Amino acid sequence: MSTAKILVLLAAALLASCASTDAPKTPAESGGGSPGALAPVRIRNEFITLGVLPHAGAHIVELKYKDGPNILLSDESLWTKAPPAPSAEKPEFLNLNGHITWPAPQKGWWTQQNLNPAKRDSRSPWPPDPFLTLGKYEILSHDESSLELRGPASPVSGLQLTLEISLHGNKVHLGVSARNISGSELSWGLWSNTRFPGSSKFYLPCRTEQIRSLRFERNSWFPQKDRLLNFKIENGFLTFDIEEAAKFPEHASTNKVFIKSESKSLAAFTGEFLFIKTIETEVLSVHPDHAPLEVFQSVGAANPPLLEIEAHGDYRILKPGESMSLDETWEIIPCAGDIRQGHGTELLKSRFL
């Protein structure tokens, strides 16, 4: 090969290399997601990265502090798969976990529609509204650290959800509004549900003057395998005794607590981080089946082991066109040293007591 040809080929290779490294990345390539892609759309700041699935019910499936691991429970292999098409006649459920907002109460999910009379008449508690949880959400605005999405108009619940998410330092602000798009009055509340791996531990300040009532409820789907997950008071905080349950890994140990408290916050240690969820909306009266704060945990042989940190807004009547909202803040605090040294509850005391 002549020297001239070699020089031409080297020059072409150099140009190609420069083009591949300097060309601007698309949002999907840079991890930001793409409005039409089956992938998370992300927002981030110097502390937090948060990923949402607009194509699958706007589940928040990713929450990271700096370069740390995802602290939410979610199966990443499902993020890029098309969810089942929303259907009232043959509703399906996709176990994406992460964070989601549902209408409340659960026993009313199918009672205010006529597309599936069998589910309406039986007051079926499952699955949740497939249009809200599996439908495609429109991205209304998206910049580096904020995202606004609007969901489909659901013929099941009669609601249309709008989510506003923004990052502020080590905090996430999440506001959800629900509008009555039906032609009739509806009765609903909003139910916030954030899920973590089952090894996570929740904590609630448990001073007498703070707690108005606690109600525990355990459902057993497989009585021969299921066991009660006991609670305990640890340095002034209510938590579930997952250490005791770990002695019986062949059983699924579960419990749920319904909390009426002066506190508007729940905390969970998950991995090397402390997560604090605070409801910013004033809540006066939730549905009697529920409570302003709720915690469900299932460990051991559960599928999958998980912790749910839940909160409810007011249960109210919505006239056609009316809306209601629920605002919350999440704070993420790295605390590996406190956990290793057994100072976790001391950190909690500095924040709550």
Domain hosting residue 128, numbered range: 41-352
- Cα gap 142→48, rounded to integer Å: 16
**CA pseudo-torsion sign 258, 263, 269, 273:** positive
Least trusted range by pLDDT, from 15-24, 224-233, 259-268:
15-24
Please give the pLDDT value at position 309: 98
CATH number (domain holding residue 79):
2.70.98.10
Considering the domain boundaries, does residue 172 fall inside one? yes
Tell whether 16 is covered by a domain. Answer: no
pLDDT band at 117 (very low <50, low <70, confident <90, very high): very high
- Residue 13: pLDDT above 60? no
Look up residue 162 and give its amino acid: T
Q: Is residue 18 part of a domain?
A: no
Degrees (nearest 5) of the Cα angle 63, 69, 74?
60
Outline where 221-340 has alpha helix (H): 242-245, 336-340
149 found inside a domain: yes
pLDDT at 122: 97
Radius of gyration (C-alpha) of the chain in whole angstroms = 23
Q: Which helix (H) or strand (E) holds 112?
A: none
| Dihedral of the alpha carbons of 85, 90, 95, 98, in degrees to the nearest 10 | 60
Q: Is the pLDDT of residue 23 over 90?
A: no
Q: How many domains does the chain have?
A: 1
Q: What is the pLDDT of residue 35?
A: 54
Residue 173 lies in a domain: yes
Cα gap 274→319, rounded to integer Å: 40
**Helix extents (H) in 239-331:** 242-245
The upper half-sphere exposure of residue 261, i.e. CA atoms within 13 Å in the direction of its Cβ, equals 26
Domain membership of residue 12 (yes or no) is no
Instruction: Tell me the three state secondary structure of residue 128.
Output: coil
Least confident of 13-17, 80-84, 243-247: 13-17
Least confident of 29-43, 85-99, 221-235: 29-43
Report d(CA 42, CA 60) in Å as an integer. 10
User: Is 3 within the bounds of a domain?
Assistant: no
Assigned domain for 11 exists:
no
